[in-house]
Structure 1
């Protein structure tokens, strides 16, 4: 007798549509209106409006004065709690320490929030000339090492979202999609991202994504280096170190 194939679990359509809206808004830097959301998600305007009202009542979405809708800090707190539940700081602490000892430079653990990275842990540089960012500080995905690493790991999903917000910060910032596409391809090929001074003048950074077994990025490790401190062969050296460290943390997540 041939066993029947297991039945697919039933999915509540209202809940799934509400989560689609929330994910869309959480991934956008700007608010969106009912019409825009309904077109992007293939929902009717009336259905979209009802779901937005529910999400607003529950505190996950806010209705702005310009009539657009945006995700609230409650959504951010839920996402941050998920990161905490992964024990990411604890898991990455040995690798963060190793990177600090090997380079002597500032090293960071970062996670994505919308189209930015947020630094959730760090070890400061002890060198006279140093790079510095605060825990809780942020930077756009497209112009720092940790951000570009996360972006590369989820580029199919994030490309369209980031295309309209390629903000200019230095003369080296990648502000057109063609340049970003090429940079992401290079990042994927070599296994680490390299910021050539694209967010702050003469501050270089290297990043590699920390991923779940399915490849979804949950964060990134990074090294930030004033260009004057970079040794000969330092690009490959630091890139290789951060890539190996991120793979080590990812492996721990896979065993969790």
Structure 2
């Protein structure tokens, strides 16, 4: 059974999610434009969120940013069983292959990163939890999209596939062909598509047969050889299988869908 979203609740979430993607914050006018809502209708929400500590407002420039109480929500999520167990599996991956491991879910046409364990190597991927990138440009995003039909992919990218680097795939036939192979069990790959000189491997994580999240391993291109690739693939496969067992036991996943 599906339900229509509760509009006031959706508006609060729109505000929080939009500000989460803007490091420097937004003014009321900018926020109004970003969430496509009149400034007058946003003002009561902003006042309440500020009063409760979920937003801060700089009185000098009237820029809104996330408040300290949002940390309570993220801290509570980080202590949930499936998150803790998944982080343990990701740590095993990093311990074995010494490369960065990330967990992501899909938000529309983007991948939203919800967990990361850094490589111990001094040269590694620079990224952070809470950020998002176009799913089509990343291995983890491709894994999240692998069950989508061509029509669904085209509806996600009505203006064509975005590009983050010169190597980002722009051809829809090539992209959908990759998704079909990932759907059949191949690893998702990112070869210089999200960052130049970066290699990334990813697998979808399923709950009740549906893609719920995805896990990836990223590394600089110069550290990838045949032995490292075999190790990374083995680590990812073991982690994916273990996380799927955890989600199945818990009866819920990360995406909330």
With the length of structure 2 as denominator, give the TM-score of the two structures. Answer: 0.65
Given candidates 127, 138, 155, the residue that maps to 1:133 is 127
Alpha-carbon distance in structure 2 between the residues aligned to 1:209 and 1:65: 34
Equivalent in the alignment of 1:216: 210
Equivalent in the alignment of 1:37: none
Contact 1:187 / 1:193 at 8 angstroms: preserved in 2?
yes
Alpha-carbon distance in structure 2 between the residues aligned to 1:155 and 1:244: 27
Contact 1:149 / 1:220 at 8 angstroms: preserved in 2?
yes
Residue 86 of structure 1 deviates from its aligned partner by 7.1
Deviation per CA, 1:53-85: give whole Å up to 9, x if none.
Answer: xx54x24258x769968xx999xx9xx99x949
Call closer, same or farther: CA 1:59–1:131 in 2, change over 3 Å: same
Deviating beyond 3 angstroms after TM superposition, the runs of 4 or more aligned structure 1 residues are: 64-69, 83-88, 153-158, 233-237
Equivalent in the alignment of 1:194: 189
Deviation per CA, 1:105-163: give whole Å up to 9, x if none.
Answer: 11111122222112222111111321121121221111112111111144578423333
SS in 2 for 1:228: helix
Residue 102 of structure 1 deviates from its aligned partner by 1.4
Equivalent in the alignment of 1:151: 145
Structure 2 unaligned runs (5+)? 15-31, 50-69, 251-257
Call closer, same or farther: CA 1:238–1:169 in 2, change over 3 Å: same
Deviation per CA, 1:20-74: give whole Å up to 9, x if none.
Answer: xxxxxxxxxxxxxxxxxxxxxxxxxxxxxxxxxxx54x24258x769968xx999
1:172-251 alignment, distance < 5 Å: 172-213=167-208, 215-251=209-245
Equivalent in the alignment of 1:26: none
Contact 1:154 / 1:217 at 8 angstroms: preserved in 2?
no
Given candidates 112, 116, 127, the residue that maps to 2:110 is 116
SS in 2 for 1:60: helix
Residue 171 of structure 1 deviates from its aligned partner by 2.0
Equivalent in the alignment of 1:7: none
Alpha-carbon distance in structure 1 between the residues aligned to 2:122 and 2:35: 50
Residue 240 of structure 1 deviates from its aligned partner by 3.4
Equivalent in the alignment of 1:60: 10
**Is 1:254 aligned with 2:248?**
yes
Aligned positions, number? 199
Structure 1 unaligned runs (5+)? 1-10, 20-54
Contact 1:106 / 1:132 at 8 angstroms: preserved in 2?
no
Call closer, same or farther: CA 1:235–1:67 in 2, change over 3 Å: closer
Residue 199 of structure 1 deviates from its aligned partner by 0.8
Measured on the aligned residues, the alpha-carbon RMSD in Å equals 3.5
SS in 1 for 2:146: helix
